[in-house]
Amino acid sequence: MVTRDRAPLDSFDVNGRRLEDWADGYAALVDVLRVIEVAFGTIGMTILTILLALVLVVRRQRWAALLTVVVMAAVSLATTGTKLWLGRDRPSWQDTLGLHENYSFPSGHASAVAAYACILVMLLVLFVRRTSLRRLGVTVVVAWWLLVCFDRLLLGRHYPTDVIGGSLMAIAVFLLVLAFVDPRPRSTAAKAEPLPEVYASEKRLAVILNPVKVEDVGQFRAIVGSMAKESGWSEPTWQYTTVEDPGTGMAEQAAVSGADLVMVCGGDGTVREVCAELAGTGIPVGIIPAGTGNLLARNLDIPLYLRSAIDVALNGQDRAIDLVEVGGDGIEDTHFMVMAGMGFDAAIMEGVNEDIKKRIGWVAYVVSALKSLMFPAVRIEIQIDDQEPTTHRARTVVVGNVGFLQAGMPLLPDATIDDGILDVVIIHPRQFLSWITVASRVLRKSTVVDETLDRRTGSRVRVKASSDTPRQLDGDSIGEGRELWMECVHGRLLVRVPR
């Protein structure tokens, strides 16, 4: 239809000339179109493919990386082969600057971008749980694909059927490869030998779920039930957290009922409540991260992909980690797993708009951080173990049981969750631009300490402010106050981690 009797397509393809004629009247638009042409040509798409594959490999998604490389290579070969086979000439009306003289059908730009877009949509569906973010991501990806397609038409490089043919070819190749290469992470226990059991277990499984953190509770229950059965666990018992009880009562009931494993699905707050109740019982906790931060899961290398996290909970190995007892003025004695803070970081948590957080996730924390960036410095007294208290000026003080924040930021690079030691960072940028210096030193894991960024370690920490200051535990605001005391309880909790 594109090389011989083209009568059915001639009237359609001639519309490409009208588009090119219209674009010729706008010099600035043509300049933008040429930039798009170069950016997403063969070299540009090759670079994007390599970068995406490397990111997936680093994040241990090797099958998704393999699919990416295979799809993009296959589409490139199919496009080149079809061009040579059909030998269709370029439109006579194409833009003269950067004239293309090779064959026209199908469009290489359209096929490459369509294939890449298919891969990105697949990754969004697999790894982004929040519906609003998935929809936003898919919209951006589709808009990008359409932009490149119209770029080919507005510059007159291709007939409309070239662009449509290239896109359809890419989708077909993607679906064909997807039939043979499953991009989902493999089970951690698929090829591993079973772990030896220290005692005879009936493999009783209890699941504690924060129902607002999963899109489809029924689907989640079905996935857990089927995977538990495959791994030799009993039919799980289910309990749901509530506003009044975010997990403590459910964890107590699971322990009393004799559960051999408690799986908790929720955000850091839910995980903290369940872990605190099960500390010291010897019952391992399997964490299914479903919140915005998921800092404990990230620092334990628990995957954020739902099925992989369930697999680790069911088949992983137990690791004894530290728990931190915490108290202060105006709050009951409690625990935290990740970190506590006073000042700027707590003001971020306090200032997060919950409606925005539900729609765009962790970006809500960025918005709140920008609002709180120049949180006023306060005078802080810090006592480590039995040492003499020291006085500091600080915009924020963070006491951590783990080292890494969102996006792998190493705020406390030496912190380890099972060393029995708490790590303290005291941050006091004097001016707005000083935050750049602080960020640079944090990212470089600089060992230099001074008044701008100071570090301390100890098993017991007491922080006392000169005025009421926002406070947070594991990312949850606990209100203003003047004091927090913390003590690390070494090896208090068993959690399931990857083998």
pLDDT per residue of the chain (499 residues) written in tens, 0 to 9:
776 655 566 667 777 777 777 877 788 888 888 898 889 988 999 999 999 999 999 888 889 999 999 999 999 999 999 988 888 878 877 766 667 777 888 999 999 999 999 999 999 988 887 777 888 999 999 999 999 999 988 888 888 888 999 999 999 999 999 999 989 887 665 555 655 554 546 789 999 999 988 888 998 999 999 999 888 888 999 999 998 888 899 999 999 998 999 999 988 888 988 998 999 898 999 999 987 778 888 888 888 888 889 999 998 889 999 999 999 998 888 888 888 888 887 887 766 656 655 665 556 666 666 666 667 888 999 999 999 999 998 888 999 888 877 656 788 888 888 889 999 999 888 877 777 888 888 888 888 888 888 999 999 999 999 999 989 888 788 888 999 999 999 988 999 998 8
Q: In this structure, which amino acid lies at residue 201?
A: S
245 with 354, same domain: the answer is: no
Give the CATH number, domain containing residue 385: 2.60.200.40
439 with 355, same domain: the answer is: yes
Is 231 inside any structural domain? yes
306 with 337, same domain: the answer is: no
Q: Is 0.85 topped by the overall pTM?
A: no
Q: Which spans in 248-293 are helix H?
A: 248-256, 268-278
Contact 428, 452 (CB under 8 A): yes
**Where are the extended beta strands (E) located within 214-337?**
237-240, 261-266, 285-289, 317-328, 331-336
Please return the burial class of 199, using the count of CB atoms within 10 Å of its CB with bins 0-12, 13-18 and 19+: exposed
Separation between Cα atoms, residue 262 and residue 257, nearest integer Å: 11
311 with 209, same domain: the answer is: yes
341 with 483, same domain: the answer is: yes
pLDDT at 484: 92
Supply φ then ψ for residue 313, to 5 degrees: -60, -40
161 with 66, same domain: the answer is: yes
Residues in the chain: 499
Is 86 inside any structural domain? yes
Residue 449 DSSP SS3:
coil
176 with 104, same domain: the answer is: yes
| Residues 163, 165, 171, 174, Cα dihedral to 10° | -110
- Which helix (H) or strand (E) segment holds residue 73: the answer is helix 62-86
pLDDT at 345: 79
pLDDT at 306: 86
Is 200 inside any structural domain? no
65 with 28, same domain: the answer is: yes
pLDDT at 145: 95
Domain holding 465, by residue range, is: 328-490
Contacts of 361 (CB under 8 A, 6+ apart): 130, 133, 292
Give the CATH number, domain containing residue 213: 3.40.50.10330
Is 497 inside any structural domain? no
Structure-block tokens of residue 406:
């969102």
Q: Cα 434 vs. chain centroid, distance in angstroms? A: 28
Is 344 inside any structural domain? yes
43 with 161, same domain: the answer is: yes
Is 337 inside any structural domain? yes
Contacts of 89 (CB under 8 A, 6+ apart): 103, 104
Contact 256, 237 (CB under 8 A): no
Is 195 inside any structural domain? no
Q: Cα 51 vs. chain centroid, distance in angstroms? A: 17
How many domains is the chain partitioned into structurally?
3
Is 250 inside any structural domain? yes
Distances (CA, A) of 165 to 106, 159, 260: 6, 10, 56
128 with 218, same domain: the answer is: no
281 with 371, same domain: the answer is: no
Q: In this structure, which amino acid lies at residue 153?
A: L
Residue 393 DSSP SS3:
strand
305 with 343, same domain: the answer is: no
Which of 256, 280, 315 lies at the terminal end of a domain, its last residue?
315
Residue given tokens 């322990």 in the structure block: 255
Supply φ then ψ for residue 321, to 5 degrees: -120, 165
Distances (CA, A) of 380 to 390, 396, 419, 435: 8, 9, 26, 19
